[in-house]
Amino acid sequence: MDFMRLLKSLEELLYELASWLLFYPLTMWRTLRRPTAMMRYADVELADTQAEQYIDTLSPPLFLLITLLLAHGIELSLRDAAPWVLPAILASDSNLLIFRGVAFSIFPLLMSLKMLRHRGIRLDRHTLKPPFYSQCYVAAPFAFSFSLLGSLSRMHNPTVVASGMVIFAISLIWYVVIETRWFASHLKLSTGRAAFMVIVTVCQAILIMFLAGAAIVYGLGSGITR
């Protein structure tokens, strides 16, 4: 009986992993093509029963995590050409992925907090979830470009480094524009005020992320070369 349950679990796991091969690129395409529609979609899907949520896409947090996993895979493919030093706690790939997942979740988290505060909604686990899920969709492409820039910036080829900077700049502009439209629409703000709020929030998130990284690098032991 236990063996049959194990087979059933493996069957479901295999199907889930295989479905990602289809639904991940579909989710990415829909996010890049119609980002605001995907953000609205994330809100609507949370109102469904758990079994009916995100049946034709990946859930937003999972989409963000898989995107970071892909960025990590690219980094691993480049590490022989551009070795770098990591603290011991981030030496394992699993710990590094966990750190990146937490670090890049700061962007959707801060955006969600700003939205709830300006709408006067009481903060709790239930009210935070819808905006956070919405924000994860558009945060994923930005997080990928950010991670890609970090990987390419360690290369010794100026053209490669410049390409990474261009990709990141385009992604950053896309992210700020989408968030500006979202804030202006949902908070009834002028475009200028919404853009200012978004830019400040992005800067805050980057600062927090780098401070967290610095705390780990300088406060949790010596580094190792990867």
Domain ranges of the chain: 2-225
If pLDDT is split at 50, 70 and 90, which confidence band does 106 have? very high
Q: By C-alpha distance, which of 163, 61, 159, 166 is closest to 112?
A: 61
If pLDDT is split at 50, 70 and 90, which confidence band does 35 have? very high
DSSP 8-state assignment for residue 55: T
Say if residue 94's pLDDT is above 80. Answer: no
If pLDDT is split at 50, 70 and 90, which confidence band does 138 have? very high
Beta-bridge partner residues of 223 = 87
The C-alpha atoms of residue 172 and residue 168 are separated, in whole angstroms, by: 6
Mean pLDDT across the chain: 85
Predicted pLDDT at 79:
65
Say if residue 208's pLDDT is above 80. Answer: yes
If pLDDT is split at 50, 70 and 90, which confidence band does 112 have? very high
The mean pLDDT value for 192-214 works out to 91
Beta-bridge partner residues of 224 = 86
CA angle 152, 154, 155 (to 5 degrees): 70
Q: Which of 23-32, 85-94, 110-119, 152-161 has the lowest mean pLDDT?
A: 85-94
Say if residue 72's pLDDT is above 70. Answer: yes
The mean pLDDT value for 171-190 works out to 94
Share of the chain above pLDDT 90, in %: 49
Predicted pLDDT at 160:
81
Beta-bridge partner residues of 86 = 224
Predicted pLDDT at 16:
82
DSSP 8-state assignment for residue 220: S
The C-alpha atoms of residue 131 and residue 142 are separated, in whole angstroms, by: 17
At residue 87, φ and ψ (nearest 5 deg) are -65, 160
Query: Model pTM greater than 0.95?
Result: no
125-152 and 158-187 helices cross at what angle (nearest 10)?
160
Say if residue 98's pLDDT is above 90. Answer: no
Q: Which of 53-57, 134-138, 198-202 has the lowest mean pLDDT?
A: 53-57
Pair of tokens at residue 9: 């679990």
Instruction: Say if residues 191 and 101 touch (Cβ distance below 8 Å).
Output: no
Instruction: Say if residues 165 and 173 touch (Cβ distance below 8 Å).
Output: no
Task: Give the distance from CA 144 to its chain's centroid.
Answer: 7
Pair of tokens at residue 130: 């819808």
Share of the chain above pLDDT 70, in %: 85
Say if residue 15's pLDDT is above 90. Answer: no
Reading phi first (left if > 0) and then psi (alpha if -120 to 50, else beta), residue 27 is in: alpha
Q: By C-alpha distance, which of 102, 103, 128 is closest to 113?
A: 128
Predicted pLDDT at 43:
86
**Distance set, CA 63 to CA 40, 60, 86, 101 (Å):** 16, 5, 26, 11
The mean pLDDT value for 85-104 works out to 70
